[in-house]
Copies of this chain bind each other. A is one copy, B any other.
Amino acid sequence: VSPEFSLIFKQIAPVVGSDPELVLGIGDDAALVSLPEAGEQVLAMDTLVAGRHFFPEQSAYDVGWKALAVNLSDLASMGAVPRFALLSLSLPQHLVMDQQAMWVSEFMRGWQAVAQPFGVVLIGGDTTVSPTLSISVTVIGYRPASSRAMLRQSAQVDDDLWVSGSIGSAGLALALLLSGEMPTELLAQALHRPLPRIALGQALLPLVNAAMDVSDGLLADLSHILHASGGIGAELYWEEIPMRVEVKAWADADAFLPLIAGDDYELLFSASARQRDAIMQTAQACQTPVTRIGRLTAQSGMKVIKNGQVLSLPSRLGFDHFQS
């Protein structure tokens, strides 16, 4: 084992945590986990690439935070309790050669700031050199056997459409940064340190039909639910969509800007109108605001209604990881 690797391992090992069902964690060929007696396991994997998913000059702390948070957001949207993560770090040579392993140390501090409160234990992964800084994460959680609850394909015609938190803050922060302006601390946090809606996701499991997390933009992600649920449609009431006041001002230029910006990591979900009260109570118990923003329709397509008028949709519905 090279001195560089030892140093990096020293940054990673202290934050792995422990879990009663973890038989063997980091340091062998594979991790061993003893299985609970029932339920479903929920697994997701996301990769973040420097220059595409975060600014190359972004603080390592923020990158560590976001790498885990966006993965946990996928578990939240399935109503899962997160438990374990595997982390593969691909590091440019200069970060590996750093005598203090500062980048990795800061990355792990940011990672741990998310892992610790959500009880996520790091059980394995890989570290390698690559010309491009990139982070792959696999997260594993559990949920009670829940049939088709919270799947994209489970939306029903006439369902209410809901969203957690507020929309467009991360998008506005990114737009400001790209035009050389500084976002406020609150907006920057929305972009760099999203909070996965874990508690809300679990609490919603028995109440909602379809759910997903808003990562590519509200409209793009809604279109995925509509498509997966057999080509149904949706009506969105623009004025109901929760946005910070500065995001509303940003939308003066183009009403769709906050809806196609992505990186929100809020939960978008559909539920029968009978569940309205239960959903509001649940959200309150989770201290997470939720807002009813529209409804699902038998007629296909998305309608965004503002001031009583149907807006014509933009050609690009959201963030596309394949766009250059």
Residue ranges of A at the interface with B (Cβ–Cβ < 8 Å):
1-2, 4-5, 23-24, 27-47, 49, 51-53, 74-75, 77-78, 80, 84, 86-88, 90, 93, 96, 123-132, 134, 136, 138, 140-141, 143, 145, 151-153, 212-213, 224, 228, 320-324
Asked if B96 and A30 sit within 8 Å, CB to CB, the answer is no
Q: Give 12 CB contacts A-B under 8 Å.
A: A2-B322, A29-B212, A30-B78, A32-B40, A32-B143, A44-B124, A45-B88, A47-B90, A53-B128, A96-B322, A126-B136, A132-B134
Assembly CA distance A90 to B90 (angstroms): 12
Asked if A49 and B130 sit within 8 Å, CB to CB, the answer is yes
Residue numbers in B under 8 Å from A134 (CB-CB): 90, 130, 132, 134
Residue numbers in B under 8 Å from A138 (CB-CB): 43, 45, 86, 138
Assembly CA distance A128 to B137 (angstroms): 14
Residue numbers in B under 8 Å from A53 (CB-CB): 128
Assembly CA distance A36 to B39 (angstroms): 9
Residue on B with the closest CB to A92? Answer: B132
Residue numbers in B under 8 Å from A37 (CB-CB): 35, 37
Residue numbers in B under 8 Å from A32 (CB-CB): 40-42, 78, 143
Asked if A31 and B46 sit within 8 Å, CB to CB, the answer is no
Residue numbers in B under 8 Å from A152 (CB-CB): 27-29
Report the minimal beta-carbon distance from A169 to chain B, rounded to whole angstroms. 21
Asked if A127 and B321 sit within 8 Å, CB to CB, the answer is yes
Assembly CA distance A143 to B149 (angstroms): 29
Asked if B49 and A90 sit within 8 Å, CB to CB, the answer is yes
Copies held by the complex: 2
Asked if A43 and B39 sit within 8 Å, CB to CB, the answer is no
Residue on B with the closest CB to A35? Answer: B35
Residue on B with the closest CB to A76? Answer: B29
Asked if B93 and A324 sit within 8 Å, CB to CB, the answer is yes
Residue numbers in B under 8 Å from A153 (CB-CB): 28
Report the minimal beta-carbon distance from A50 to chain B, rounded to whole angstroms. 9
Residue on B with the closest CB to A147? Answer: B23
Given contacts A43-B86, A47-B90, A129-B321, contact A36 B35 (CB under 8 A): yes
Asked if B128 and A52 sit within 8 Å, CB to CB, the answer is yes
Given contacts A35-B36, A128-B52, contact A2 B323 (CB under 8 A): yes
Residue numbers in B under 8 Å from A143 (CB-CB): 32
Asked if A47 and B126 sit within 8 Å, CB to CB, the answer is yes
Among B33, B74, B77, contact of A43 (Cβ-Cβ < 8 Å): B33
Assembly CA distance A224 to B87 (angstroms): 21
Report the minimal beta-carbon distance from A220 to chain B, rounded to whole angstroms. 8
Assembly CA distance A42 to B130 (angstroms): 27
Residue on B with the closest CB to A152? Answer: B28
Known contacts A24-B151, A34-B41, A52-B128; 20 additional CB pairs below 8 A are A4-B322, A28-B78, A28-B151, A28-B228, A29-B44, A29-B152, A29-B212, A30-B43, A30-B74, A30-B75, A31-B43, A33-B40, A33-B42, A33-B43, A35-B35, A43-B84, A88-B136, A96-B322, A127-B321, A129-B321
